C-alpha cells in the first residue's frame, strides 16, 4: 500500500469538493455514469480523481478496459469520505437548528421495492417536507437493511426504512406499516395453469423455489436458488421455473397481466412489518424532526394533514398489503 510522503495537511474546501466527486464516482460505478450526475466532462472527473490521489498519496481506483474498480485503499478512503461528509452535514444541520431554518440534507436509506406500497407514507412525507422546506436536498440510497442500519448508526444516513428484525441498541424506531406477501409462480410453470383445487401443498413443496438472502421465511420450500432482493426473486419467478414469495403490491403488476399467479394463498402467506429507524441520541436536526413529525401524522405548517395515510385494514382490523 502506498503511503503519503508526509502527514495529511488540514482538510480544505477544495478537498471537500474532490471528495464529493470521489463519492459520486464510486456510487455511480465509474467515470462515465458520473458525468451525468456531476454535469462535468469525463476528462474533468479524471483530473479531479488524479488531484485527490496526489493529495492523499493513495491509489484510489483502477480504470481501463476492465472497467472501474476501487483498490483496497480506495474502499477505506470511500468509507472515511462518507463519514467526513456526514459529519460536515451534521454540523450544517446543527447550525441551521440554531437559526431555526429548514436547510441542509436529508439522507435516507430505503429497502428495495417499497415504492408500490399502497400506504405511501414515505412518499407523502417527502412531498410535505419539500413543500415546507424547498431548500432541503433529499438523498435516497436503495441498499440492504443491514447497510441501512449501519449507515444510520455511523451517521452516513439520517433515517432508514427497514423491516422489523432485531432491536439494535443504538437505534430508535417508529412503526410504519405491514407488508403482506404470497407465494407466486410464473406463466409456463407446471402449477400455473392448474385449477385452484388441483394445486396441492405436496406439489408446491417439491417445486424449485427461490429464497431471498436478506430474510428468513416462515415456510419450508425446496430452495434451489437465491436472490439478494425482490427484483431478483421476480426475475426467477418469471422464468416459469421457480416459485417464490413476493409482496402483494409488488407482484400485482404481473398478476394483472397474467404473468404470475398466487399459489394456495390461505397457506402460503406471511406479513413483514416495516419501521423507520434513527440514531438514538443524535444531535438536533430540524429537517429530520420535521420529516418524522409528518410520518407520525402530525399536521404541517399550513394546517392541513401533513401526508400521513393510515394503513389499509380488512374487516377484522388486520393490516393488509
> pLDDT tens-digit profile of 93-127?
666 655 556 678 899 998 876 766 666 788 888 88
Cell of 290: 420535521
Q: Which of 173-182, 239-248, 281-290 has the highest mean pLDDT?
A: 239-248
Q: What pLDDT is stored for residue 186 in this prediction?
A: 96
Cβ contact 215:153 at 8 Å: no
Q: Are strands 222-227 and 208-212 parallel, antiparallel or unpaired?
A: parallel
Average pLDDT over residues 142-155: 87
- Give the C-alpha separation, 179 to 102, whole Å: 32
Least confident segment among 30-39, 100-109, 153-162, 203-212: 100-109
pLDDT band at 283 (very low <50, low <70, confident <90, very high): confident
Q: Annotate 99-161 with DSSP letters as a single string.
A: HT---SEEEEEE-SS-TT-SS-HHHHHHHHHHHH-TTPEEEEEE--HHHHHHHHHTTS-SEEE
**Res 299 pLDDT > 50:** no
Q: Scan for cell 415504492, then name that residue.
A: 115
Q: What is the enclosing helix (H) or strand (E) of 146?
A: helix 145-153
- Contact between residue 19 and residue 81 where contact means Cβ atoms under 8 Å apart: yes
Residue pLDDT, tens place only, 302-320: 333 333 333 333 444 433 3
- Residues in CB range of 178: below 8 A, 6 or more apart: 271, 272, 273, 274, 311, 319, 320, 321
Band (pLDDT 50/70/90 cuts) for residue 246 is very high
The answer, yes or no, to whether residue 263 has pLDDT greater than 50, is: yes
Looking at the chain, the whole-number percentage of residues with pLDDT higher than 70 is 81
Helix (H) or strand (E) holding 274: strand 269-279
| Count of C-beta atoms within a 10 Å radius of residue 191 | 18
In tens, the pLDDT along 151-171 reads 898 888 999 988 887 667 788
Q: What pLDDT shows up at residue 251?
A: 94
pLDDT at residue 321, rounded to an integer: 33
What pLDDT is recorded for position 235?
Answer: 95
pLDDT tens digits, residue range 3-22?
Answer: 545 566 677 778 888 999 99
Pairing of strands 105-110, 137-142: parallel
Cβ partners under 8 Å of residue 59, min gap 6? 2, 53, 71, 73, 74
Q: What are phi and psi of 131, to 5 degrees?
A: -70, -35
Q: Calculate the average pLDDT of the chain.
A: 81
Averaged pLDDT, 164-191: 87
pTM of the model: 0.55
Amino acid at each position: 500500500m502506498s503511503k503519503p510522503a508526509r502527514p495529511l495537511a488540514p482538510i480544505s474546501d477544495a478537498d471537500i469538493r474532490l471528495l464529493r466527486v470521489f463519492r459520486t464516482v464510486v456510487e455511480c460505478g465509474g467515470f462515465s455514469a458520473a458525468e451525468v450526475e456531476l454535469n462535468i466532462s469525463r476528462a474533468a472527473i479524471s483530473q479531479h480523481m488524479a488531484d485527490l490521489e496526489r493529495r492523499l498519496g493513495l491509489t484510489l481506483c483502477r480504470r481501463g478496459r476492465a472497467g472501474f474498480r476501487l483498490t483496497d485503499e480506495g474502499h477505506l478512503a470511500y468509507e472515511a469520505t462518507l463519514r467526513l461528509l456526514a459529519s460536515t452535514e451534521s454540523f450544517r444541520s446543527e447550525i441551521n437548528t440554531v437559526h431555526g431554518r429548514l436547510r441542509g440534507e436529508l439522507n435516507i436509506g430505503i429497502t428495495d421495492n417499497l415504492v408500490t406500497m399502497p400506504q405511501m407514507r414515505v412518499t407523502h412525507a417527502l412531498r410535505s417536507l419539500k413543500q415546507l422546506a424547498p431548500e432541503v436536498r433529499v438523498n435516497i440510497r436503495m441498499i440492504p437493511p443491514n447497510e441501512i442500519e449501519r449507515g444510520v448508526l455511523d451517521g452516513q444516513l439520517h433515517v432508514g426504512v427497514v423491516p422489523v428484525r432485531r432491536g439494535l441498541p443504538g437505534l430508535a424506531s417508529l412503526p410504519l406499516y405491514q407488508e403482506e406477501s404470497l407465494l407466486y409462480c410464473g406463466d409456463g410453470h407446471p402449477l400455473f395453469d392448474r385449477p385452484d383445487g388441483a394445486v396441492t401443498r405436496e406439489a408446491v413443496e417439491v417445486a424449485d423455489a427461490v429464497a431471498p438472502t436478506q430474510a428468513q421465511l416462515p415456510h419450508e420450500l425446496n430452495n434451489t436458488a437465491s436472490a439478494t432482493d425482490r427484483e431478483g426473486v421476480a426475475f426467477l419467478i418469471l422464468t416459469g421455473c421457480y416459485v417464490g414469495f413476493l409482496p402483494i403490491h409488488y407482484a400485482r403488476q404481473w398478476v394483472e397481466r397474467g404473468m404470475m399467479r398466487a399459489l394456495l394463498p390461505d397457506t402460503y402467506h406471511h406479513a413483514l412489518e416495516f419501521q423507520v429507524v434513527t440514531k438514538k441520541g443524535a444531535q438536533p436536526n430540524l429537517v429530520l424532526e420535521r420529516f418524522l413529525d409528518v410520518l407520525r401524522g402530525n399536521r404541517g405548517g399550513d394546517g392541513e394533514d401533513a401526508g400521513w395515510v393510515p394503513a389499509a385494514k380488512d374487516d377484522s382490523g388486520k393490516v393488509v398489503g
